[in-house]
Amino acid sequence: MSWSKLKQQLESFLSPSLQGKVEYRATGYRYVPDKAGICYIAVDKKNILNMNDAATSIKWYASEQEIKSDSGIDIPVSTEQIEAVRNDTGGKIPEDRLIVIARSRKIAELAKELMAAQASLSKSNFITVANRFLSTSIEESIESKDILLNILALMDRRVGKKRILNMSDNIRLKHPAVQYFYELRLSTV
Protein backbone atom coordinates (compact mmCIF):
# COMPACT_ATOMS: atom_id res chain seq x y z
CA MET A 1 0.00 0.00 0.00
CA SER A 2 1.35 3.45 -0.85
CA TRP A 3 2.25 5.86 1.95
CA SER A 4 -0.44 8.41 0.99
CA LYS A 5 -3.18 5.77 1.04
CA LEU A 6 -1.93 4.35 4.34
CA LYS A 7 -1.75 7.84 5.88
CA GLN A 8 -5.29 8.59 4.72
CA GLN A 9 -6.62 5.39 6.29
CA LEU A 10 -4.79 5.96 9.58
CA GLU A 11 -6.01 9.53 9.85
CA SER A 12 -9.58 8.42 9.11
CA PHE A 13 -9.42 6.30 12.29
CA LEU A 14 -8.29 9.21 14.48
CA SER A 15 -10.55 10.21 17.33
CA PRO A 16 -12.61 13.29 16.38
CA SER A 17 -10.93 15.26 19.17
CA LEU A 18 -7.49 14.53 17.64
CA GLN A 19 -8.31 15.22 13.99
CA GLY A 20 -6.30 18.16 12.77
CA LYS A 21 -4.16 17.93 15.92
CA VAL A 22 -2.32 14.66 15.16
CA GLU A 23 -0.68 13.97 11.81
CA TYR A 24 1.38 11.11 10.41
CA ARG A 25 4.33 12.16 8.27
CA ALA A 26 7.11 10.41 6.36
CA THR A 27 10.15 11.40 4.40
CA GLY A 28 11.94 9.32 1.84
CA TYR A 29 15.09 9.63 -0.18
CA ARG A 30 14.51 8.87 -3.82
CA TYR A 31 18.14 8.70 -4.94
CA VAL A 32 19.64 7.12 -1.85
CA PRO A 33 18.40 3.52 -1.82
CA ASP A 34 20.17 2.53 1.40
CA LYS A 35 18.54 5.33 3.40
CA ALA A 36 14.97 4.40 4.37
CA GLY A 37 13.90 7.85 5.49
CA ILE A 38 12.04 8.58 8.67
CA CYS A 39 8.49 8.45 9.82
CA TYR A 40 7.10 10.54 12.61
CA ILE A 41 3.93 11.49 14.39
CA ALA A 42 3.31 15.22 14.77
CA VAL A 43 1.06 16.82 17.37
CA ASP A 44 0.08 20.42 16.68
CA LYS A 45 2.63 20.56 13.83
CA LYS A 46 5.46 19.59 16.21
CA ASN A 47 7.34 16.32 15.63
CA ILE A 48 6.74 14.27 18.75
CA LEU A 49 7.67 10.69 17.89
CA ASN A 50 10.45 10.34 15.33
CA MET A 51 10.98 6.73 14.43
CA ASN A 52 14.62 5.85 15.03
CA ASP A 53 15.61 9.22 16.49
CA ALA A 54 16.76 9.75 20.07
CA ALA A 55 16.36 13.56 19.84
CA THR A 56 12.60 13.64 20.42
CA SER A 57 10.79 15.16 23.36
CA ILE A 58 9.91 11.67 24.60
CA LYS A 59 12.44 9.84 26.76
CA TRP A 60 14.32 7.06 24.97
CA TYR A 61 16.24 4.57 27.02
CA ALA A 62 19.84 3.81 26.04
CA SER A 63 20.33 0.86 28.36
CA GLU A 64 18.54 -1.59 30.56
CA GLN A 65 20.13 0.01 33.63
CA GLU A 66 18.49 3.35 32.78
CA ILE A 67 15.09 1.71 32.89
CA LYS A 68 15.88 -0.09 36.13
CA SER A 69 17.03 3.11 37.82
CA ASP A 70 14.22 5.34 36.50
CA SER A 71 12.27 6.51 39.55
CA GLY A 72 9.31 7.43 37.34
CA ILE A 73 8.55 3.78 36.65
CA ASP A 74 6.27 2.33 39.31
CA ILE A 75 5.96 -1.45 39.01
CA PRO A 76 3.14 -3.13 40.94
CA VAL A 77 3.92 -6.68 42.08
CA SER A 78 1.20 -9.32 42.41
CA THR A 79 0.99 -11.96 45.13
CA GLU A 80 1.57 -14.66 42.48
CA GLN A 81 4.92 -13.09 41.59
CA ILE A 82 5.91 -12.93 45.26
CA GLU A 83 4.92 -16.58 45.69
CA ALA A 84 7.03 -17.53 42.65
CA VAL A 85 10.08 -15.86 44.26
CA ARG A 86 9.29 -17.57 47.58
CA ASN A 87 9.18 -20.97 45.82
CA ASP A 88 12.40 -20.27 43.90
CA THR A 89 14.30 -19.33 47.05
CA GLY A 90 12.94 -22.10 49.24
CA GLY A 91 11.06 -19.77 51.60
CA LYS A 92 14.16 -18.65 53.53
CA ILE A 93 13.97 -14.96 52.63
CA PRO A 94 12.06 -12.32 54.67
CA GLU A 95 8.80 -10.99 53.23
CA ASP A 96 10.06 -7.46 52.54
CA ARG A 97 13.02 -8.83 50.52
CA LEU A 98 10.67 -11.07 48.52
CA ILE A 99 8.81 -7.98 47.31
CA VAL A 100 12.08 -6.28 46.32
CA ILE A 101 13.27 -9.37 44.42
CA ALA A 102 9.92 -9.82 42.64
CA ARG A 103 9.88 -6.13 41.63
CA SER A 104 13.47 -6.38 40.41
CA ARG A 105 12.63 -9.41 38.24
CA LYS A 106 9.60 -7.66 36.80
CA ILE A 107 11.61 -4.50 36.03
CA ALA A 108 14.28 -6.60 34.27
CA GLU A 109 11.59 -8.21 32.07
CA LEU A 110 10.01 -4.84 31.36
CA ALA A 111 13.41 -3.32 30.51
CA LYS A 112 14.13 -6.05 27.95
CA GLU A 113 10.70 -5.59 26.36
CA LEU A 114 11.08 -1.80 26.18
CA MET A 115 14.56 -2.02 24.66
CA ALA A 116 13.40 -4.55 22.04
CA ALA A 117 10.34 -2.46 21.14
CA GLN A 118 12.38 0.73 20.98
CA ALA A 119 15.08 -0.83 18.79
CA SER A 120 12.60 -1.82 16.10
CA LEU A 121 11.24 1.67 15.37
CA SER A 122 11.94 2.74 11.79
CA LYS A 123 9.97 3.89 8.76
CA SER A 124 9.69 0.41 7.27
CA ASN A 125 8.58 -0.96 10.63
CA PHE A 126 6.02 1.85 10.98
CA ILE A 127 4.47 0.95 7.63
CA THR A 128 4.39 -2.75 8.56
CA VAL A 129 2.86 -2.07 11.97
CA ALA A 130 0.33 0.41 10.52
CA ASN A 131 -0.84 -2.21 8.03
CA ARG A 132 -1.12 -4.76 10.84
CA PHE A 133 -3.07 -2.22 12.93
CA LEU A 134 -5.57 -1.72 10.11
CA SER A 135 -6.17 -5.47 9.84
CA THR A 136 -6.38 -6.46 13.54
CA SER A 137 -8.90 -5.78 16.27
CA ILE A 138 -8.55 -2.74 18.48
CA GLU A 139 -8.35 -4.95 21.61
CA GLU A 140 -5.39 -6.84 20.18
CA SER A 141 -3.62 -3.55 19.39
CA ILE A 142 -4.18 -2.20 22.90
CA GLU A 143 -2.93 -5.40 24.57
CA SER A 144 0.13 -5.68 22.30
CA LYS A 145 3.67 -5.09 23.53
CA ASP A 146 4.43 -3.10 20.37
CA ILE A 147 4.83 0.64 21.02
CA LEU A 148 3.37 1.71 17.68
CA LEU A 149 0.34 -0.55 17.92
CA ASN A 150 -0.39 0.88 21.37
CA ILE A 151 -0.06 4.47 20.13
CA LEU A 152 -2.24 3.91 17.08
CA ALA A 153 -4.88 2.19 19.21
CA LEU A 154 -4.89 4.98 21.81
CA MET A 155 -5.60 7.57 19.13
CA ASP A 156 -8.32 5.47 17.47
CA ARG A 157 -11.93 6.65 17.53
CA ARG A 158 -13.09 3.13 18.45
CA VAL A 159 -11.50 3.53 21.89
CA GLY A 160 -14.02 5.38 23.98
CA LYS A 161 -13.81 7.55 27.06
CA LYS A 162 -14.63 4.74 29.50
CA ARG A 163 -11.95 2.43 28.09
CA ILE A 164 -9.35 5.24 28.13
CA LEU A 165 -10.09 5.99 31.78
CA ASN A 166 -9.95 2.29 32.75
CA MET A 167 -6.52 1.62 31.24
CA SER A 168 -4.50 4.01 33.43
CA ASP A 169 -2.88 1.19 35.48
CA ASN A 170 -1.71 -0.70 32.38
CA ILE A 171 -0.28 2.42 30.75
CA ARG A 172 2.15 2.94 33.65
CA LEU A 173 3.98 -0.20 32.50
CA LYS A 174 4.33 1.01 28.90
CA HIS A 175 7.05 2.97 27.13
CA PRO A 176 7.09 6.77 27.78
CA ALA A 177 5.96 7.32 24.16
CA VAL A 178 2.78 5.33 24.84
CA GLN A 179 2.29 7.22 28.10
CA TYR A 180 2.63 10.55 26.26
CA PHE A 181 -0.06 9.66 23.71
CA TYR A 182 -2.28 8.27 26.49
CA GLU A 183 -2.04 11.63 28.30
CA LEU A 184 -2.77 13.43 25.01
CA ARG A 185 -5.88 11.33 24.44
CA LEU A 186 -6.91 11.64 28.08
CA SER A 187 -6.72 15.44 27.84
CA THR A 188 -9.13 15.45 24.88
CA VAL A 189 -11.70 13.06 26.37
- pLDDT interval class at 60 (50, 70, 90): low
The pLDDT value recorded for residue 183 is 92
> Could you tell me if 102 and 84 are in contact, meaning their C-beta atoms sit under 8 angstroms apart?
yes
pLDDT surpasses 90 at 4 = no
Tell me the pLDDT tens digit for each residue of 85-133.
Answer: 888 888 788 888 888 888 888 888 877 777 776 666 655 677 888 889 9
Helices of type H across 90-189? 95-119, 123-135, 138-143, 147-154, 161-166, 168-171, 176-188
d(Cα 105, Cα 108) in Å, to the nearest integer?
A: 5
| Mean pLDDT value across residues 144-158 | 89
Share of the chain above pLDDT 90, in %: 15
d(Cα 178, Cα 60) in Å, to the nearest integer?
A: 12
**Which is nearest to 129 in space by CA: 151, 113, 110?**
151
d(Cα 99, Cα 103) in Å, to the nearest integer?
A: 6
The pLDDT value recorded for residue 61 is 66
CA angle 112, 83, 85 (to 5 degrees): 50
Contacts of 60 (CB under 8 A, 6+ apart): 54, 118, 176
- DSSP code for 41: E
pTM above 0.85, yes or no: no
- pLDDT interval class at 56 (50, 70, 90): low
